[in-house]
């Protein structure tokens, strides 16, 4: 009997150890801070070429930061101007208090974000950053400064929402210098959110279709726009034909994505399936499926069955991760 109790104790110890190991696997410890999560931005062939940013793109690839587990990482690109002494003036923006007083600065990034270790960055987005560093606030005052040394680096982090990052996960790559890069007359505009779904024949979220999202062959628009530059709140009033509507949104035009890598796709759930919803008596989206507002990075889509046709005002708050859809009556 004594031997039996000893064996039972040993077995229990083994089971508890295994359970602890399993628990650690499902609750990984995130590597944070500097070298533990450092990563490399690779030097592209383009860095040695003459690059006019108008109507061109920049292609970057980088290694994956080591966060200690297979994390879904959000990447952002920062632009800097190489000074005569070799130092880099990175683009930043002012931070203001509630009274509008400047109390500091924070890093400013190219509009698009990425979830894979590569990016095709529109030349216009980089040009806007360069012009912002130069202090250009009126396109009429643009002066061509020719080819200059421009630096790019990538910031990685694990995000809770599109604008909120888990503390300690933010880390920068090394900088890559493009020796001969030329900007052009363009000023940063509010960011865009793209609607993709049955109303536009599931138009592919790719850079080549950007103009079609702004105005298709019938003159219809399929975008929402930031109410202020950088505030992550998007609005737009879109017109839809009668029928069954199904759609999701995309924050960038870099491909469809999938369940494992949704890229710029956001919807009511991660899984690539539609969720049927409708409008209440006041014409508002009832949010019955997700009490927190119901949007997240993922391939889920909304389905409105039997929509009678007309205009819908859409508001997407990427800070609170909420949506609001309201029918707009014609005056």
CB 315, CB 233: distance < 8 Å: yes
Asked whether residue 11 is domain-assigned, the answer is: no
pLDDT the model gives residue 285: 61
Angle at 152 between CA 254 and CA 317, to 5 degrees: 50
271 neighbors 298 (Cβ within 8 angstroms): yes
Same domain, 288 and 175: no
Q: Are 171 and 155 in contact (CB under 8 A)?
A: yes
Beta strand 192-197 pairing with 113-114: unpaired
Could you tell me if 55 and 143 lie in one domain? yes
pLDDT at 173 exceeding the cut of 90: yes
Angle in degrees, CA 170, 96, 123, rounded to 5: 55
pLDDT-derived band at 20 (thresholds 50, 70, 90) equals very low
* Residue at 314 is within a domain: yes
Residue 248 or residue 16, greater confidence: 248
Give the pLDDT confidence score for residue 59 in this predicted structure. Answer: 96
Choose one of 132, 161, 182: the last residue of a domain.
Answer: 182
Q: CATH no. for residue 154?
A: 2.60.40.10
Over residues 183-195, the mean pLDDT reads 92
Q: Are residues 71 and 207 in the same domain?
A: no
Residues 146 and 208 in one domain: no
For 286-322, write each residue's pLDDT tens digit: 544 333 457 888 899 999 888 888 898 899 998 888 8
Indicate which CATH number applies to the domain containing 323: 2.60.40.3620
Is 28 domain-assigned? no
pLDDT at 87 over 80: yes
- Same-domain pairing of 38 and 165: yes
pLDDT at position 191, please? 87
Global pTM? 0.62
Number of domains in the chain: 2
The pLDDT assigned to 205 comes to 95
Which domain range does residue 126 map to?
Answer: 34-182
Q: Inform me whether the pLDDT recorded for 83 exceeds 90.
A: yes
Residue 13 confidence (pLDDT): 44
Find the mean pLDDT for residues 134-139.
Answer: 92
Whether residues 258 and 237 fall in one domain: yes
Asked if residue 288 is part of any domain, the answer here is: yes
pLDDT at 188: 83
The predicted structure's pLDDT at residue 18: 42
Question: What digits encode the pLDDT tens for the residues 206-244?
Answer: 989 999 999 998 899 999 999 988 788 999 999 999 989
Do 178 and 97 fall into the same domain?
yes
Mean pLDDT, the chain, rounded, equals: 84
Say if residue 236 is in the same domain as residue 278.
Answer: yes
């Amino acid at each position: 009997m004594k031997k039996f109790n000893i064996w039972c104790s040993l077995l229990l110890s083994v089971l508890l150890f295994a359970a602890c190991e399993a628990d650690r696997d499902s609750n990984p410890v995130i590597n944070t801070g500097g070298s533990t999560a450092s990563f490399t931005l690779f030097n592209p062939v383009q860095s040695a070429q003459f690059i006019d940013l108008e109507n061109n793109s920049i292609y970057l690839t980088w290694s994956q930061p080591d966060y200690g587990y297979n994390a879904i990482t959000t990447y952002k690109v920062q632009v800097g101007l190489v000074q005569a002494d070799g130092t880099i003036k990175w683009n930043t923006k002012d931070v203001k208090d509630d009274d509008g007083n400047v109390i500091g600065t924070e890093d400013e990034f190219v509009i698009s974000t990425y979830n894979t270790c590569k990016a095709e960055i529109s030349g216009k987005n980089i040009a806007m950053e360069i012009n912002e560093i130069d202090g250009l606030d009126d396109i009429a005052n643009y002066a061509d400064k020719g080819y200059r040394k421009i630096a790019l680096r990538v910031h990685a982090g694990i995000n809770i929402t599109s604008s909120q990052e888990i503390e300690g996960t933010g880390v920068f790559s090394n900088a890559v210098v493009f020796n001969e890069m030329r900007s052009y007359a363009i000023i940063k505009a509010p960011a865009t959110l793209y609607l993709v779904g049955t109303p536009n024949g599931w138009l592919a979220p790719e850079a080549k279709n950007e103009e079609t999202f702004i105005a298709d062959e019938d003159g219809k628009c399929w975008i929402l726009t930031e109410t202020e530059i950088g505030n992550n709140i998007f609005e737009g009033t879109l017109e839809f034909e009668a029928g069954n509507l199904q759609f999701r949104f995309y924050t960038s035009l870099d491909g469809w994505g999938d369940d494992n890598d949704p890229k710029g796709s956001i919807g009511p759930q991660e899984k690539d399936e539609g969720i049927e919803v409708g409008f209440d008596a006041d014409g508002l989206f009832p949010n019955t499926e997700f009490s927190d507002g119901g949007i997240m990075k993922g391939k889920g889509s909304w389905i409105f069955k039997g929509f009678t046709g007309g205009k819908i005002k859409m508001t997407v708050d990427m800070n609170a991760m909420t949506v609001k859809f309201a029918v707009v009556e014609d005056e």
